[in-house]
Amino acid sequence: MDAMSQTSIVVAAETRDNLRALKTGGQTYDDVLVELMKHYEES
């Protein structure tokens, strides 16, 4: 995400907490969301 611009999105606190629980190691929220979208597209 080096050359990309960043933005904020509004989510419920519970959604934020669930997303945070999916992060491992040095993953960013962007990494987790991209991974989730790939899994969704493959299903």
Q: What average pLDDT does this structure show over 12-41?
A: 96
| pLDDT score for 2 | 61
- Can you give the pTM of this predicted structure? 0.78
Rounded CA gap, 13 and 5, in Å?
A: 24
- E strands, the chain, are none
- pLDDT level of residue 1 (50, 70, 90 thresholds): low
Can you tell me the distance from the alpha carbon of 19 to that of 14, in angstroms, rounded to the nearest whole number? 9
What pLDDT does 4 receive? 80
Domain positions in the chain are 1-43
pLDDT at 14 over 90: yes
Asked if 1 and 28 count as a contact pair (C-beta separation under 8 A), the reply is: yes
